Copies of this chain bind each other. A is one copy, B any other.
Amino acid sequence: MKLTEAKAQFIASWGAFGSHWGINRTMAQIHALLMISPDPLTQDDIMEQLNISRGNVNMNIRELIDWALVDRVIVPGERKEYFSAEKDIWKVARLIVKERKKRELDPMLKLLDQLREVEGDKKDKNVKQFTDTVNGIKRFGEQADKMLEVLVKSDESWFIGSLMKFFK
């Protein structure tokens, strides 16, 4: 397979993959393009290579910078801004987990806490099933939260090393 074709495939799949994981298609494609580019790119490079508009590139680049997946790079003597992606996939995973935990898991756990205090007769099976379900999810969520926290804070070698042993 030729590099050009391989690149196109990689970018397309990373985009599709990302869109299942809470990252929008274009944002993931830009990230993919930057991950396989040895040098930083400008907005115009990205527009051209992905065939998307300037506004689109700009918004999604900003979002990627928010997630800390992409950095602005200053190239001395150049007027334009350049961008480069975090290429260490473990770091990428940690950044994504960190961001999604903050945006989704934490608010959900907070809500579940409130919902546990529903008023009503404990003997009513509707109340019972509701609180049982909410409590179950809360406990599960707390476990997940703890694990993810460790993952986010870990460095690869330690994490992989320990886990490899753990899972035999």
Binding site for B on A (CB under 8 A): 1-3, 6-7, 9-10, 13, 17, 20-22, 35-38, 87-90, 93, 100, 104, 108, 111, 114-115, 117-120, 125-130, 132-134, 136-137, 140, 143, 146-147, 150, 160, 162-163, 166-167
User: Is A13's CB under 8 angstroms from B111's CB?
Assistant: yes
* Minimum CB distance partner of A134 in chain B: B10
* Minimum CB distance partner of A5 in chain B: B118
Q: How many copies does the complex hold?
A: 2
Q: Which B residues lie within 8 Å of A132 (CB)?
A: 87
Q: Which B residues lie within 8 Å of A127 (CB)?
A: 3
13 more A-B contacts (CB under 8 A) besides A3-B118, A3-B126, A38-B128?
A1-B114, A2-B119, A6-B130, A10-B130, A17-B104, A20-B22, A36-B133, A38-B125, A89-B136, A143-B163, A147-B163, A147-B167, A166-B166
